[in-house]
Amino acid sequence: MNDPDLGYRREAARLAEALAQRGAKTSIIEQLAGLSKEQARRVIRVTTGQEPRSGPLPVSIATLLANRRRHARLSALARIFLALNPTPSALDARALLRTWDLFVYLHGTAAADDLKPITFTELFILARDLRIGNAELRRCQKCGLSWLLCHQCGTHLVACPYCKLGLEPFFSHP
């Protein structure tokens, strides 16, 4: 007998596996693939061979912008997300996977210095904050690049990170 839910469950399992491969935490897989906590934990164990990490998700992107270089990298991630998903109405797992894979292809997860790597969890929080209006992209009048404005961030981060990093030589040719 045909099980009408079988296709849906297979799709959810594929999605959960793709998320686990990219390091998504249990609660993100639960939310995006519609699995139970135990199912999500099992997918992580089977896919990565590692124990799922627990702990709460960051409440806002504000906690992730530790310094201007990270701010610049997360601005690049936000640009890719919004370019691929101009009107994100709901958190779409496939949109997040597309964004993540392109970001990693172009930028890698680790910076050249000793910055903490960007994680899939951060993309999830960033996309959520962009969707609910806690953050937005703003175009810098000076250098022309779009940067991530986070409405809950301290005033030291309410400025274009590229200009604050002193990248002017890259913007003006002799």
Q: Which residues bind to Zn ion, rule: CB under 5 A?
A: 140, 142-143, 160, 162-163
Burial class (CB in 10 A: 0-12, 13-18, 19+), 78: buried
Decide whether 36 or 141 has the Cβ nearer to Zn ion: 141
CB neighbours of residue 105 within 10 Å: 8
Smallest separation, CB 158 to Zn ion (Å): 13
Q: Count how many Cα atoms sit within 13 Å of the Cα of residue 59 in the half-sphere of its side chain.
A: 2
> φ, ψ for residue 75 (rounded to 5)?
-65, -40
Smallest separation, CB 75 to Zn ion (Å): 10
Decide whether 103 or 162 has the Cβ nearer to Zn ion: 162
Decide whether 116 or 142 has the Cβ nearer to Zn ion: 142
For residue 29, what are the CA distances in angstroms to 16, 49, 51?
Answer: 6, 16, 14
Residue with tokens 């998320």: 19
Smallest separation, CB 163 to Zn ion (Å): 3
Decide whether 102 or 140 has the Cβ nearer to Zn ion: 140
Decide whether 13 or 143 has the Cβ nearer to Zn ion: 143
Q: Could you tell me which of 141, 161, 149, 135 has the C-alpha nearest to residue 70?
A: 161
- Greatest C-alpha distance within the chain: 72
Smallest separation, CB 156 to Zn ion (Å): 15
Smallest separation, CB 170 to Zn ion (Å): 11
Classify residue 43 by its DSSP letter: H
